[in-house]
Structure 1
């Protein structure tokens, strides 16, 4: 077992101040003295802040997507075209509704193109779900025209793409879903906001959600305390390094441990956990966080990535990164910093020994399995398989650098040298 350094930078930091952590505790405790009217008023304030007449506040993006599918009542067996890289639960929700997820392969910059979507559209296709990955955001203009032409619903998963109140979703999408879960930008440690541009659909989703029980603030308080402990550990490279050393000495895979600890859902009935109204304390904290969001934090993050990208080997440039746009306002704020490497396991090990806990691309995201289509001849034979080969190849070689941390010059140089040495080994091999 390699000797680990005392200081290890965590793969992801929690984007919430200690003041707001304590504010969340206060809101959770104070909710016991609030009335149903107070909760309604808090939600109204949040909706007014986001997009009046188009907003639904949910417990999570998973909750929002489940509400959307309940409201639409697509016939069983209908197909939903979905970005090939997503979180496992989005695929599970589609299948739980008796629907079929069909992966849309990705371009090298992790975006979805009309050319990849068009061959997948069939009579049973009902909707297109596009995920904006890694903090970048693509235009949906062409996809919007395609969806309109084929009478399909267009939904966008903006869980990784929040960049301030200037963007509340693409106008071409019927539904835009944003997450403020534990490790997201401007986190409230839970919560989702949905922009719904079809009034009847919004009314249907709101009507279904009104029949849910409310997530208890006692449970929200437990969640806050859990992530307070994680924030304490990840905020200090010394403490985080100590945790990883302890886990390794006990034979525990720290990658699995950290990923599991970051999950917001416990074991048990999945639908029961997502079919809940957000708690009063959560709504109040989310409103406070959004109304006080400082977009300059995103610019600082973009600047850090640009500095690192300038020093990285050419083959390791962040996915979708465009050096010519440095210093300009773009649609990419890199919630994660994904780079391609030849041997992820080796690179992750080398980085850890250098004091950086990077994460593998498949730590939280999956590539949606291909869907076999029936033969067009109607003779019972199997037809084509919609495989996302480009997305699969990309994700097999992706790791995420811990760019949330502000490294000093020595640490930055050590990070770059470690990656350069890995690249050199590959070239010699």
Structure 2
């Protein structure tokens, strides 16, 4: 076949893909066109960055003066570790499942990352594992609230306070309402508004820090950092606009099929476009102040966000629970504080289910950027077996605002058919 014929064949294949099955994408970017335009033009608008940041932090703290706006949750965590200035080889206990950058940041500060096993479909801290993991060198406990879950933390908090652990809530996936700023008993609560998060501002994070002395240190350190370039926010607006366009069902289905043609999955194709930081030179990337445009956009998102979007997301999740009969199998999903940033469905045949649903136009996936925190070399017994098995068995189902109830019903019927055929 000559070049012209080969191009014609590829063009025909693409044409067919474009008009084949439409695909329900796993997650929609939670931002509208008006907000994108505001972010783009706001990235170039004049204004004193410090004044904009002060207004945002006043809005978030509700007069309590305990808030700090950062470039990202990872940036906030890095600032916190710098402010705490812990002795080398101090231990930071992590929920066993988290994004890998969090323990990497701890290790970059010459601290030891120690996993604490989790359990249940809300991935809550296992208190027995916490008791096993804590030592005289343990200084911090980082609790990740995953997929929109907000488990009861009281027992864990009581234990942490008894052992003088500084408690950090990683609420990057759990924000669901403007007036929720984390558990008041936690020492720090970190919220992300990155590209794929609820109420995204294409970046930015808000931290609640209980101790004013630590907060002041964090402010002083951040004030010495360079400011994230305004042009990058403008480029991010274009990138997200492109992602919104291709997330349309028919276009996303085409991308999935084209990827298959070239032996690439959708994670390979789109993963890098929503990744906040590259793997190289992590700390220099984190150590930047948020740009004025990001702060403006984040303030706008907090002031104007439609909370009914989350209510509809929860309603869809409740429909999935009812249709699949998960009340007894995954009872943690009934927690009325769960906001379902993603819907975690546990199955003993995850890969087969993902392939089955994709054949029927539902894009699903596993784990994403989440990883199991590795135990320290001298404590291999802290290997988090429950977390490992949970993550291996979890498939994320679409339940976002835009997907209609009829599509949810069809997806659940497919899952029930798959389960029946597999038994």
Distance 1:55 1:112, change over 3 A: same
Q: Is the 8 A contact 2:140 2:167 kept in 1?
A: yes
Residue 81 (str. 1) matches residue 93 (str. 2): yes
Q: Is the 8 A contact 2:316 2:405 kept in 1?
A: no
Residue 348 (str. 1) matches residue 363 (str. 2): no
Alignment of 1:281-292 (within 5 A): 281-292=293-304
Picking from 128, 131, 136, the partner of 2:149 is: 136
Q: Is the 8 A contact 2:316 2:408 kept in 1?
A: no
The alpha-carbon deviation at position 319 of structure 1 amounts to 7.1
Give the 3-state SS of the residue equivalent to 2:118 in structure 1: coil
Distance 1:166 1:296, change over 3 A: same
Residue 395 (str. 1) matches residue 391 (str. 2): yes
Picking from 230, 234, 237, the partner of 2:249 is: 237
Distance 1:315 1:349, change over 3 A: farther
Residue 367 (str. 1) matches residue 367 (str. 2): no
Q: Is the 8 A contact 1:316 1:340 kept in 2?
A: no
Residue 44 (str. 1) matches residue 54 (str. 2): yes
Q: Is the 8 A contact 2:321 2:327 kept in 1?
A: no
The alpha-carbon deviation at position 314 of structure 1 amounts to 4.3
Runs of 4+ displaced beyond 6 Å: none
Give the 3-state SS of the residue equivalent to 2:124 in structure 1: coil
The alpha-carbon deviation at position 295 of structure 1 amounts to 1.6
Residue 298 (str. 1) matches residue 310 (str. 2): yes
Per-residue CA distance 1:32-90 (angstroms, 9 max, x = gap): x33xxx21111111111111410000000000011111111111111111000100111
Residue 10 (str. 1) matches residue 25 (str. 2): yes
Whole-angstrom distance in 2 between the partners of 1:315 and 1:424: 18
Give the 3-state SS of the residue equivalent to 2:119 in structure 1: coil
Per-residue CA distance 1:326-378 (angstroms, 9 max, x = gap): xxxx2111111000112211111111110011111x221111122344xxxxx
Whole-angstrom distance in 1 between the partners of 2:127 and 2:279: 38
Whole-angstrom distance in 2 between the partners of 1:315 and 1:368: 29
Number of residue pairs aligned between Structure 1 and Structure 2: 404
Per-residue CA distance 1:93-130 (angstroms, 9 max, x = gap): 11111111111111213111433312211111111110
**Of 82-91 and 238-247, the range deviating more from structure 2:** 238-247
Alignment of 1:101-180 (within 5 A): 101-109=113-121, 110-180=123-193
Whole-angstrom distance in 2 between the partners of 1:414 and 1:333: 22
Give the 3-state SS of the residue equivalent to 2:219 in structure 1: helix
Q: Is the 8 A contact 1:371 1:385 kept in 2?
A: no
Whole-angstrom distance in 1 between the partners of 2:223 and 2:201: 22
The alpha-carbon deviation at position 412 of structure 1 amounts to 3.0
Distance 1:267 1:156, change over 3 A: closer
Give the 3-state SS of the residue equivalent to 2:332 in structure 1: coil
Q: Is the 8 A contact 1:85 1:366 kept in 2?
A: yes
Q: Is the 8 A contact 1:319 1:338 kept in 2?
A: no
Distance 1:165 1:405, change over 3 A: closer
Per-residue CA distance 1:272-322 (angstroms, 9 max, x = gap): 111000000000000010011222211111001111221115499667212
Give the 3-state SS of the residue equivalent to 2:43 in structure 1: helix
Distance 1:409 1:277, change over 3 A: closer
Give the 3-state SS of the residue equivalent to 1:386 in structure 2: coil
5+ unaligned residues in a row in structure 1: which ranges?
A: 374-382
Residue 412 (str. 1) matches residue 408 (str. 2): yes
Residue 275 (structure 1) aligns with = 287
Residue 333 (structure 1) aligns with = 339
Give the 3-state SS of the residue equivalent to 1:127 in structure 2: strand
